[in-house]
Structure 1
């Protein structure tokens, strides 16, 4: 068994491009499935809590809970990946998300809000795992192609992510035939999708990208003809890279989750049904992932910091439009949420590339997991604060505040660029 594995690793070391192509294909398949899983909670989580609690002020709690749960899961997935490889780490995360989905359905059947909140916390593992998969796509990528590798994994989420919200109404009807609340229906889809994503990874994510990357690094170190600078070649951004990359992703996540979470509630307050809010969220999720190939090319071609700055400007435009859009205008809200998704995409791809450039392989998975904890906590903060703020001041004030907050990226990017020019 060991000799077979070693032979396989040696074969893939001799042809890393072939191994990378296979890994990306498997990751794409799992991301399509997991995209449908994470979209369910985004679409109806706040509405389900509102229905069970009878209060708008706590409608942001589900988002806060499953993003807080994703923080814990990010640590666990990162540590498992660091110790055993990407395959067991990602598979364990998706299985946990499937268990959380089952818990949400059970809570809806029993009408137990406390159980709902616990289950949503567990469900958040799927969101964290979906994000961690992007790092697996970059493990074997050359430095100048890392952003494009990340974008390939991210764009795969689009199919499931767009289909998931649009299946809210049919899965709701299916749930009603089973005697379950219609708003719990999408979690039936998410449970099955997460379980299948885990199965795909367990069966086919071979070779493991992180373990193979480490083996390649060891082989390169053993080769006395390799120049010491070769391993560090590429668009590295210096010691400030971890801080900048984390800040970009944390801030974009905070703003995105806050505005996205309360948009279905805002639409519901203006008489729009589940189908309309599902369409808007589907457009939003499409904008979060579909532009990824273009974003990856822009990041690799024009630089990480320029795209990070573009993220802040795009999020500002989204916040202003969402604040100004009439509550009865589905089209304008859809456009605002599309810009929100695009700004998030710019931030995630550029931030991920910055982190991957900066962190060495020996500690990469663990550090990436810790960075994603910060991202998840930012999402939890945005989700929880959004409901409270909307209850106190209204949706337009939330959207405008989020847009203005995103401008904090610009001085951070400028300061980092200045340090790199003047070390």
Structure 2
């Protein structure tokens, strides 16, 4: 549970300035890392096919997803103990090492090294996901979802630009002697290193440590909120917190707030090392936190299951020469649905509340499954279904992540968020793996029907009455 820590004498914290700088930095690094992630994903299956054959190529994406989910565990522990900055840096550096392993695997033809590289490559996805939570540590409660949605949207910029970078990177590195499809992973590694360096140098003071340093007593879920500036009060994104007389707390690149066991003495120290079990206990004891985790996971399950097999569905009714063009068009609309409107969804989440947006997202997901499942081989209708699927996913991701973040104490927040990403990743990987068997034995319409069935429990959970006085019940 969060505990009150007395601010050093003569300190003034400009929380809005810290928050603005944090969001700007995260926006830039999300674009850079989004390019790196999408470059690798766009050629990963092709590289695996060239090394190990078609039968193995489909497993590379699953390896990256599973790796991202598993790496959420160490990244979460680092964030809990030392703050957002070292955790994000760890995730991106793991992705960079993974990219270099993949390049070496392509040069040597080593399949085990290829899969080890793809597992580590998933660390970049872990860092990307955790960045959205970093954006709300010091956010004004009235703008939390908008700022989280903005960081989700920034990934779109990199994802849209990445395919062009992939082709150029491959052409450049092939002239240098690297095998086909290997070079883009080298460029991905460089992008992750750049993102890690920017965060390591510029993400100061650390937003999580700052929020924790001025957390409210007794573990109030929303500890980083203060409307009235007063000595020793918690700090929020809309408040300048004067503490002591006239001194100012430096908020530049070299500033840090002392946090942890040694904070009272003025020295930096790690916080209590809350792990995923602590996060699980925090989530289980709070209805809003349970709803947030469930919304993120179920939205991801429905999206991954249907999206994964849509290219196969298109390939059933179109000539091979047209398949890639149509798949690219349909998936582009799907990705636009996932990311393009996330700032708007964030605004709606702040204006109307978290639960109403989750309920709306459930309705959109059900509609998406109905449209895609009954589209037959009518590609325009299938494209509409996939766009709706992405939009529903965006609603569950933005509203669910915001609800989770504000429903747990600040010192347990990284553990609960890491648990959510772990559940989301493993659930999505399972849905993707099972979807092929469902389509093979029962067909695509049955897959969409099962995805709709999976969404129904979320509807029931979101409609449950909110206990009186529950934190974050909006």
For the aligned pair, the TM-score class normalised by the smaller chain equals 0.7 to 0.9
The partner residue of 1:342 within 383, 391, 394 is 391
SS of 1:14's equivalent in the other structure is strand
Give the structure-2-normalised TM-score: 0.75
Q: Distance in 2 between matches of 1:128 and 1:296?
A: 21
Post-superposition CA distance 1:370-416 (Å, at most 9, x none): 2211111112212222333344444444344323422332111112x
Distance in 1, Cα, partners of 2:323 & 2:172:
17
Comparing 261-270 with 381-390, greater Cα deviation is found at 261-270
8 A Cα contact 1:64 1:379, kept in partner? no
**Matched residue, 2:27:** 28
Hey, what's the Cα distance between the residues in 1 that align with 2:231 and 2:143? 21
Distance 1:245-1:398 versus aligned 2 partners, 3 A rule = same
In structure 2, how many angstroms separate the alpha carbons of the residues matched to 1:185 and 1:327? 37
Q: Is contact 2:214–2:235 with CA below 8 Å preserved after alignment?
A: no
1:209 Cα offset (Å): 0.7
Q: What secondary structure is seen at the aligned counterpart in 2 of 1:420?
A: coil
Alpha-carbon distance, 1:291 to partner:
1.0
- 1:314 alignment partner in structure 2: 364
Report the alpha carbon displacement of residue 54 of structure 1 after superposing the two structures with TM: 4.3
Aligned mates of 1:273, 1:179 — CA distance in 2: 31
Task: Give the total of aligned pairs.
Answer: 406
Q: 1:110 to 1:91 in 2, by over 3 A?
A: same
Separation (CA, whole Å) in 1 of partners of 2:174 and 2:344: 41
User: Max radius of gyration: which structure?
Assistant: 2
Q: Is the 8 A contact 1:166 1:278 kept in 2?
A: no
Q: What's 1:241 paired with?
A: 288
Q: Which residue pairs with 2:4 in the alignment?
A: none
Provide the aligned C-alpha RMSD in A: 3.5
Structure 2 residue runs without a partner (length 5+): 1-6, 218-222, 237-284
* Residues 63 and 384, structure 1, Cα contact 8 Å, conserved in 2: no
Residue 276 of structure 2 corresponds to: none
Q: Map Cα deviations across residues 310-365 of structure 1 (whole Å, 9 max, x no partner).
A: 22222223333333445583x44443332222111100111111111111112111
Kindly indicate whether the alpha-carbon contact (under 8 Å) linking 1:161 and 1:286 is maintained by their aligned counterparts in 2.
no
1:136-155 equivalences in 2 (<5 Å): 136-155=134-153
Q: How does 1:117-136 map to 2 (within 5 A)?
A: 117-136=115-134
Distance 1:61 1:348 in 2: 25
Please give the secondary structure, in 2, of the residue aligned with 1:379.
helix
1:268/1:290 CA distance change after superposition, 3 Å: same
Which of residues 100, 103, 110 is equivalent to 1:102? 100
2:408 pairs with 1:374: no
User: How much does 1:124 deviate?
Assistant: 0.9
Equivalent position SS for 2:135: helix
Structure 1 residues 230, 37: closer, same or farther in 2, change over 3 A?
A: closer
Q: What residue number does 2:348 align with?
A: 298
Q: Using the alignment, how far apart are the partners of 2:202 and 2:149 within structure 1?
A: 21
Cα pair distance change 1:275/1:95, threshold 3 Å: farther
Change in Cα spacing, 1:177 to 1:311, as seen in structure 2 (3 Å) is farther
Residues in 2 aligned to 1:35 and 1:137: alpha-carbon distance in whole angstroms? 16
Contact persistence 1:146–1:353 (CA under 8 A): yes
Aligned positions of 1:261-276 closer than 5 A: 261-264=308-311, 266-267=313-314, 270=318, 271=320, 272=322
Quick check: 1:164 aligned with 2:162? yes
CA distance, structure 2, for counterparts of residue 381 and residue 409 of structure 1: 18
Deviation at 1:43, TM superposition (A): 3.5
Higher share of residues assigned helix: 1
Cα distance in 2 for partners of 1:328, 1:115 equals 41
Q: Which residue of 1 aligns with 2:438?
A: 389
The 1:214/1:132 distance shift into structure 2, 3 A limit, reads: same
Distance 1:274 1:174, change over 3 A: farther
CA 1:244–1:105: 2 relative to 1, 3 Å: same
**Is 372-381 or 171-180 further displaced after alignment?**
171-180
After superposition, the Cα gap between the structure-2 partners of 1:230 and 1:185, relative to the gap in structure 1 and judged at 3 Å, is closer
Return the alpha-carbon distance in structure 2 between the equivalents of residues 367 and 390 of structure 1. Answer: 34
Residues of 2 paired with 1:185 and 1:260: CA distance? Answer: 27
